[in-house]
Amino acid sequence: MSSIYIPKRALFIYAHPDDIEFGVAGTAALWAKNGCAVKYIVITDGNIGSHEEGMTTQKLAEIRRAEQTAAAEHVGATVKFLGYDDGVLQPTLELRRDLVREIRAHRASVVVCGDPRAFFPRDTYINHPDHRAAATAAVEACFPATNSPLIFPELINEGFAPHDINYVYISHPIDGANCYVDISETVGLKIEALKLHKSQMGDWDPTERILEWSAEIGRKVDFKHAERYRRITLKELLPPEDE
């Protein structure tokens, strides 16, 4: 199925600065361009991703937050950092509660996150444990906690009422892809946003790689460039979207 659905409010939940730009920023840019309130939740500061001499985790956190903020702004999104430590993320109840708070605060009709099942998605790649932890916590926050008043009752005292999410978009699903987003008009923005992560790119120009990946996915559904999801419906929306 192809999708031209534009949510009203979308929350993208990922572990590290640059995860969104590598994976799903074409979708974020497309939705933002068409009036969706797009917000990124970046759980860690990505502050161990450097081999540079003299670099400290604190300095690196500052750099990576600034890069991620610029990358979000470039596609019309806002970003919030949760400040968890990079490299040792766990899908704890504390993280789940923090994510429920953010989903309710943004009143997200859509949550976009990774696939918690992706342990070794290819023969040449073990998924970063932080990615799995972030994806697990995000999916577990979406259901059933976000619309349950009796789970995390303290959030209600903080002013965050239970909320219904319509769809969860699982990016890079290991199987069951059922939703392709046509990013042909935003893949350029996606590449520009990725390049803003200068501390990670070094001399590498990601243009070719991103164009290849998105073209390969697009071929399956006759889009020039696409991003692919397994879309989970929690509460079907009857068009037009009504809020």
Considering the complex, what minimum distance in angstroms separates the CB of residue 230 from Zn ion? 19
Which of 44, 166 has the CB closer to Zn ion? Answer: 44
- Cross-sheet strand order for the sheet of 226-233: 2-3, 179-182, 226-233, 167-171, 110-113, 9-14, 37-44, 78-84
| Contact track, Zn ion, 82-121, x by CB under 5 A | ----------------------------------------
Q: Tell me which of 9, 19, 140, 223 binds Zn ion, using CB under 5 A.
A: 19
Count of residues interacting with Zn ion (CB under 5 A): 2
Which of 85, 151 has the CB closer to Zn ion? Answer: 85
- The tokens describing 100, both together, are 């429920």
Beta bridge partners of 14: 42
State the residue number with the nearest CB to Zn ion: 16
Q: Tell me which of 16, 65, 104, 230 binds Zn ion, using CB under 5 A.
A: 16
Contact stretch for Zn ion (CB under 5 A) within 18-26, 93-101, 145-153, 177-185:
18-26
Contact stretch for Zn ion (CB under 5 A) within 3-11, 12-20, 72-80, 89-97:
12-20
Considering the complex, what minimum distance in angstroms separates the CB of residue 128 from Zn ion? 5
Contact stretch for Zn ion (CB under 5 A) within 19-27, 95-103, 179-187, 223-231:
19-27
Which of 20, 165 has the CB closer to Zn ion? Answer: 20
Which of 37, 134 has the CB closer to Zn ion? Answer: 134
Which residues contribute to the site for Zn ion (CB under 5 A)?
16, 19
